[in-house]
Structure 1
Amino acid sequence: MSPPLPQPQLDLRQRFDAIRNIAPFLRGIWATSPSLTLASLGLRLVRALLPVATLYVGKLIIDEAVRLVGLGTVHALLPAWHAGQLDPLLALLGLEFGLAISSDLLGRLAGYADALLSERFTNATSIRLMEHAATLDLEDFEDADLQDRLDRARRQTMGRMNLLGQLFGQAQDAITVLSFAVGLLAYAPWLMALLAVALVPAFIGESHFNALNYSLNFQWTPERRQLEYLRQMGASVETAKEVKIFGLNRFFIERFRALSEKFYEANRRLAGRRALWGTLLGTLGTLGYYVAYAYLAWRTVRGDFSIGDLTFLAGSFRRLRQLLESLLSGFSQVAGQALYLEDLYSFFELQPEITSRPGALPVPTPIRQGFVFENVGFRYEGSEQWALRGLSFELRAGEVLALVGENGAGKTTLVKLLARLYDPDEGRILLDGRDLRDYDLDSLRASIGVIFQDFVRYHLTVAENIGVGRIEALDDRARIERAARKGMADDVVAGLPRGYDQIIGRRFKEGVDLSGGQWQKIAIARAYMREGQVMILDEPTAALDARSEFEVFERFKELSAGRTAVLISHRFSSVRMADRILVLADGKVEASGTHEQLMAQGGRYAELFELQAAGYR
Structure 2
Amino acid sequence: MNNVNYFYQAAQFVWRIDKGWVINSVFLRIIGGIIPILGVVLLEKLVKNVQQLLLNGGPIHKELYFILASQIIIFSLQAGFVNINNLLDGKIEIKLEYEINKLVNTKAANSPAYYYDNPDFYNHLERTKYSRSQQFLNPLINFLDIFQNLITVSSFTILLINTHWLLAIICLVSVMPVYFIERKFGLKQFLLLKYQTPISREFQYLDSLLSNRDSIQEIKIFNAQDYIIKKSASLFLKKSKEELNYLKKRETSYFLLKFLNNFALVIGVLLLITMVTSKKLALSTFIAVFQAIRETQTILLNLSNNFSTIQSQMHFLKDLFELLYFEDKTYIKGNSNTVSFPEFKDQGIKITNLSFVYPYSNRKVLSDVSLDIHPGETIAIVGENGSGKSTLIKCLMGLYPIMDGDILFEGISIKTIDELELLKNITVLFQNFTKYNLTLKENILLNDSLKENDIEKFQDVIRLSGVKDFYKKLEEGAETRLGKLFLDGEELSGGQWQKVAIARALFKKGELFILDEPTAALDPRSEYDIFKKFKMMTENKTTIFVTHRMTATKLADQIVVMKNGKIIEKGNHNELMMKKGEYYKLYKMQNKLLEENYSYPIT
- Fold shared by both chains (TM-score > 0.5): yes
CA contact 1:37–1:117 (8 Å) conserved in 2: no
Q: Kindly state the Cα deviation for residue 90 of structure 1 after the two structures are TM-superposed.
A: 0.9
Aligned letter for 1:481? Answer: Q
In the alignment, structure 1 segments of 5+ residues that lack a partner are 1-13, 75-79
| TM-score w.r.t. length of structure 2 | 0.94
Aligned residues: 592
Q: Kindly state the Cα deviation for residue 549 of structure 1 after the two structures are TM-superposed.
A: 0.9
Map 1:590-605; keep pairs closer than 5 Å. 590-605=568-583
Q: Kindly state the Cα deviation for residue 114 of structure 1 after the two structures are TM-superposed.
A: 0.5
Q: Kindly state the Cα deviation for residue 298 of structure 1 after the two structures are TM-superposed.
A: 1.6
Aligned residue among 227, 233, 237 for 2:209: 233
Distance in 2, matches of 1:45 and 1:260, equals 45
Distance in 2, matches of 1:106 and 1:474, equals 55
Which residue pairs with 2:317 in the alignment? Answer: 341
Aligned letter for 1:22? Answer: F
Which residue pairs with 1:395 in the alignment? Answer: 373
Q: Could you say what secondary structure the match of 2:254 adopts?
A: helix
Which residue pairs with 1:513 in the alignment? Answer: 491
Which residue pairs with 2:520 in the alignment? Answer: 542
Aligned residue among 160, 173, 176 for 1:184: 160
Q: Kindly state the Cα deviation for residue 365 of structure 1 after the two structures are TM-superposed.
A: 2.7
CA contact 2:93–2:133 (8 Å) conserved in 1: no
Aligned residue among 545, 554, 557 for 2:535: 557
Distance 1:104 1:411, change over 3 A: same
In the alignment, structure 2 segments of 5+ residues that lack a partner are 596-603
Q: Could you say what secondary structure the match of 2:561 adopts?
A: strand
Query: Is structure 2 residue 100 aligned with structure 1 residue 100?
Result: no
CA contact 2:37–2:156 (8 Å) conserved in 1: yes
Which residue pairs with 1:441 in the alignment? Answer: 419
Aligned residue among 34, 55, 59 for 1:70: 55
Aligned letter for 2:28? Answer: L
Q: Could you say what secondary structure the match of 2:129 adopts?
A: helix
Aligned letter for 1:124? Answer: E
Distance in 1, matches of 2:473 and 2:345, equals 39
| TM-score w.r.t. length of structure 1 | 0.92
Aligned letter for 2:190? Answer: Y
Aligned letter for 1:323? Answer: I
Deviations 1:552-586 (A, max 9, x none): 00101112211000001222022221111000111
Which residue pairs with 1:361 in the alignment? Answer: 339
Distance in 1, matches of 2:37 and 2:264, equals 21
Aligned residue among 374, 389, 406 for 1:411: 389
CA contact 2:182–2:308 (8 Å) conserved in 1: yes
Mean alpha-carbon deviation: is it higher for 112-121 or for 199-208?
A: 199-208
Q: Could you say what secondary structure the match of 1:238 adopts?
A: helix
Which residue pairs with 1:6 in the alignment? Answer: none
Q: Could you say what secondary structure the match of 2:551 adopts?
A: helix
Query: Is structure 2 residue 204 aligned with structure 1 residue 219?
Result: no
Aligned letter for 2:32? Answer: R
CA contact 1:505–1:511 (8 Å) conserved in 2: yes
Q: Kindly state the Cα deviation for residue 531 of structure 1 after the two structures are TM-superposed.
A: 1.5
Distance in 2, matches of 1:405 and 1:511, equals 38
Q: Could you say what secondary structure the match of 2:433 adopts?
A: coil
Distance in 1, matches of 2:448 and 2:378, equals 22
Distance in 2, matches of 1:507 and 1:549, equals 28
Distance in 1, matches of 2:454 and 2:51, equals 84
Mean alpha-carbon deviation: is it higher for 217-226 or for 356-365?
A: 356-365
Distance in 1, matches of 2:466 and 2:100, equals 41
Aligned residue among 395, 401, 406 for 1:428: 406
Q: Could you say what secondary structure the match of 2:281 adopts?
A: coil
Identity of matched residues, %: 26
Q: Kindly state the Cα deviation for residue 476 of structure 1 after the two structures are TM-superposed.
A: 5.1
Query: Is structure 2 residue 587 aligned with structure 1 residue 609?
Result: yes
Q: Kindly state the Cα deviation for residue 209 of structure 1 after the two structures are TM-superposed.
A: 1.7
CA contact 2:139–2:314 (8 Å) conserved in 1: no
Query: Is structure 2 residue 306 aligned with structure 1 residue 330?
Result: yes
CA contact 2:261–2:297 (8 Å) conserved in 1: yes
Query: Is structure 2 residue 17 aligned with structure 1 residue 41?
Result: no
Query: Is structure 2 residue 348 aligned with structure 1 residue 373?
Result: no
CA contact 1:118–1:164 (8 Å) conserved in 2: no
Which residue pairs with 2:246 in the alignment? Answer: 270
Aligned letter for 1:318? Answer: R
Deviations 1:358-395 (A, max 9, x none): 37321223443210111111110122211101101111
Distance in 2, matches of 1:505 and 1:55, equals 65
Q: CA RMSD in A?
A: 2.1
Distance in 2, matches of 1:478 and 1:110, equals 56
Q: Could you say what secondary structure the match of 1:566 adopts?
A: strand
Which residue pairs with 1:504 in the alignment? Answer: 482
Q: Could you say what secondary structure the match of 2:521 adopts?
A: coil
Deviations 1:520-558 (A, max 9, x none): 111111111212111111011112122211110010111
Aligned letter for 2:150? Answer: A
Moved over 6 A (4+): 469-475
Aligned letter for 1:262? Answer: K
